[in-house]
Structures are given as structure tokens and as C-alpha cells.
Amino acid sequence: MITAELIEEVATKLFRNAATTLPEDVIEKIKESHKNEMSPIAKAHLEAIIKSVEIAKKRGKPLCQDTGIPYFFVKMGLSVRIQGDLEKAISNAVMKVTKELPLRENVIHPLTKANTGTNTGWGVPHIHYEVDPSSDFIEITAIPKGFGSEAKSSLVWITTSHDIPEAITRCVLDQVVAAGGDPCPPTIIGVGVGGFADTALNLAKKALFRNPIGSHHPDPLVAELEDRIFKAVNSTGIGPMGTGGETTVLAVHVEISGSHTAVVPVGITFQCWAARYSKAVIYNNGEVRYLTHSELGEK
């Protein structure tokens, strides 16, 4: 039996850690980009990012002043047994971290701009559920999603009379060029292809946090598209923070769903270099395993 108290404890650790400490694979990707970057200005920006990451972790402070809106992926096994209110537990975790870390109080009513001061309310924290029939655990991913990058998301429709991979690549390039330095590159780009409008955007959001960063989709055609977009985006010369260079994107992750014979929706979304997320699994017996940040330990 998994208790709501345990879920709150784990979610608190995850959300606090996500705000202050990048996953190791993301840090290594930024360091690799710094090593390979040829532009002196771009290299200096990447060096500043690396130092900022180190200072935030050492001091236990948020990586960015935009501490985002709380977003959680929750994957649940059908055999999981929960005692208590999971959503209340996660909401309590967000309120606790907002006050104790602290985090900027970003969440407002979309019409009145009223602010609870807790980063909760009106359906926030947003929790995206996924069911895994074969598992006996809950997997929780905590994401403080910043909106400088989120605001550059888009949805496009491609008719199937087109060369679809070519059209997707052009659409992503158009969005990258229009965004310029606003999403704080180098970014991770998530692309969701197929399904319905909401499916495509949800797949794009899920793709952003694929672990490890830069890993390919198992379908060779999708993996080929990821490489194609990655090379095209890094050829734009936008570079870190939009000041030029070879490193505009750290990774491109594509997810797909079956689509209609006439038209394919394509969701495009961005994650800034501060790819903040933290993930853990909680088993029915109460065992906890932290997947992205080993320093959190196990329980």
C-alpha cells in the first residue's frame, strides 16, 4: 500500500530538487556542447550556464528566476494501491516547496490575475496521468516548467499529400527562427506527430523529458527525423541565448501516434537549457527509487 504521506514526501523531494539541480545527463550534454562550440561568444555563454548550474546546486537555490508552473507526469500501474488523496499530496508538496525554497509565485487565475501565493489552484499543479498495466509502481516526474520556452509552442497541420518528414522539418525550423533567443537556447525541442490536436502537443511535452537527453526513438524512421531536425536547427546559427554559434539545440525528441489519412497534426514545444525535472518510482511495498538524481538516495 502506498500512502498519500509517502507520495507527498517523495513529490516534495522531487519538486525541490528539480528546481535547483539539473539531471546529470543534461549537464553533461551542455558541457559537451561547450567543448565543441567554436564561437567565442557562444562558448562564453555556455561556460556561464555551467557555472550557474554549479552555484545553484551548491547553494540549493533555483536555477532560474522563472521557477515555472508545476507540471507532473504520473505513470500508474493497475496493481498499485493508494491510501489517501494522490492529487492533494502532490499539491501539498508544491505548496511546501514554494514557501520553503522559495519559488516565485507564478500561478494566477487566467482572467482575474488573482494569485494564491502557493503555485496551486485552478487545476494546478497540472498532473498528466498514464496507465501502465504491467507495473506495480507509481512513477512520478516533477517539472517546474518555465514559460519563456513554453510560450513558443505551436500546433501545425500537414496534409498527407506533402512529404511529411520534410514538412515537419520546415515547420520546426520556422518556429525556431521565429523564436530566436526568446526560449533561452540551447533548447531541447519536443515534437509530437499524429493523433489529435491535444495528442500531438501532449506527445511533444512528454518528448522534452526523454531520458537520457539525445537518445533516439526506437523507430528508425523517427530517429532519422530527429537527426534531420537536429542538424537543420543547429545550422541556423542562432546559438546560445540567440547571440550566434553552433549550439542552438541540445537535442530533438520526436514522439508519434497514429493519425488520420488526410492530415497530420504536429505539436512543437521547447524546453530551455535549464531542463529541470526529477523522477522517482514508488513501489507497492513502500520502496522508493530516485531515477534522475542519485543524491536523493533510496528509501
Residue 125 inside a domain? The answer is yes
What's the chain's length in residues?
A: 299
Closest CA to 2 of 288, 289, 284: 284
The answer to whether residues 16 and 98 touch, using CB atoms and an 8 Å cutoff, is no
How would DSSP label each residue in 121-137?
BTTBSEEEEEEETT-SE
Residue 27 inside a domain? The answer is no
User: Which whole number is the average pLDDT over 84-113?
Assistant: 98
* pLDDT of the residue at 134: 87
- Span 136-148, pLDDT tens digits: 899 999 999 999 9
Residue 57 inside a domain? The answer is no
Q: Can you tell me the distance from the alpha carbon of 176 to that of 181, in angstroms, rounded to the nearest whole number? A: 9
**Residues 247 and 153 both lie in one domain:** yes
Joined together, the cell numbers standing for residue 42 give: 557562444
User: Which whole number is the average pLDDT over 170-180?
Assistant: 97
**Residues 153 and 142 both lie in one domain:** no
Find the domain containing 100 and state its range. Answer: 2-21+62-146+276-296
Residue type, 104: R
**Strand 263-271, strand 278-283: pairing:** unpaired
Residue 15 inside a domain? The answer is yes
Q: Can you tell me the distance from the alpha carbon of 1 to that of 288, in angstroms, rounded to the nearest whole number? A: 13
Closest CA to 275 of 183, 191, 202: 183
Residue 39 inside a domain? The answer is no
What's the CATH code of the domain at 152?
3.30.1330
* pLDDT of the residue at 298: 58
Q: Is the pLDDT of residue 246 over 90?
A: yes
**Residues 141 and 8 both lie in one domain:** yes
**Residues 104 and 17 both lie in one domain:** yes
Residue 33 inside a domain? The answer is no
**Residues 10 and 127 both lie in one domain:** yes
User: Which whole number is the average pLDDT over 131-158?
Assistant: 95
Q: Is the pLDDT of residue 299 over 60?
A: no
Q: Can you tell me the distance from the alpha carbon of 222 to that of 201, in angstroms, rounded to the nearest whole number? A: 17
**Residues 280 and 235 both lie in one domain:** no
pTM, entire model: 0.95
**Residues 177 and 139 both lie in one domain:** no
User: Which whole number is the average pLDDT over 189-203?
Assistant: 97
**Residues 252 and 284 both lie in one domain:** no
Q: Is the pLDDT of residue 221 over 70?
A: yes
**Residues 170 and 209 both lie in one domain:** yes
Residue type, 283: Y
Neighbours of 83 (CB within 10 A): 12
Residue type, 257: S
**202-237: burial string, b at 16+ Cβ within 10 Å, e else:** bbbbbbbbbeebbebbeeeebeebbebbbebbbeee
Residue 38 inside a domain? The answer is no
Residue 42 inside a domain? The answer is no
**Residues 251 and 281 both lie in one domain:** no
Average pLDDT of the chain to the nearest whole number: 96
Cell numbers 490575475: residue: 113
Largest CA distance in the chain: 55
User: Which whole number is the average pLDDT over 172-183?
Assistant: 97
Structural domains counted in the chain: 2
**Residues 113 and 170 both lie in one domain:** no
**Residues 170 and 265 both lie in one domain:** yes
* pLDDT of the residue at 205: 97
